[in-house]
Amino acid sequence: MLFRKLEKKVADSLKNSDKILILTGTRQIGKSFLIRHVGKKFFKNFIEINLVEDSAGNRLFGKVKTTQDFYLTLASLAGTSFGTRDDTLIF
């Protein structure tokens, strides 16, 4: 029951806003799992960037200065999985 309530809150927040959602909590309680679940369930396109696991992570967005640069860089990395802002969740 709690997971469904959190799922709905996160989905509503992400669908109804152009803002960034910050999810906090202790380690290993399912924060990343929840975002992945919501992203794949409610969004046509789900893109996950893990700058820790990617060896080139710190260089991927090093020259990005504007949001336009960010989206161009992201589109080149994601390829066909990048849609419009309304149907894409970037995690």
Nearest to 6 by CA among 37, 47, 49: 37
Model pLDDT for residues 36-84, shown as the tens digit of each residue: 999 899 888 888 888 777 766 667 778 889 888 888 888 887 776 677 7
| Residues whose CB is less than 8 angstroms from the CB of residue 54 and which lie 6 or more positions away in sequence, other chains included | 60
Q: Is the Cα torsion angle 78, 66, 64, 11 positive or negative in sign?
A: negative
Model pLDDT for residues 1-41, shown as the tens digit of each residue: 567 788 888 888 888 867 788 889 999 988 999 999 998 99
Give the pLDDT confidence score for residue 33 in this predicted structure. Answer: 92
72 and 88 share a domain?
yes
Tokens read off for 65: 């200065």
CB 39 within 8 A of CB 88: no
Tokens read off for 24: 């906090």
62 and 26 share a domain?
no
Domain boundaries, position 18:
1-42
Count of domains observed in the chain? 2
4 and 30 share a domain?
yes
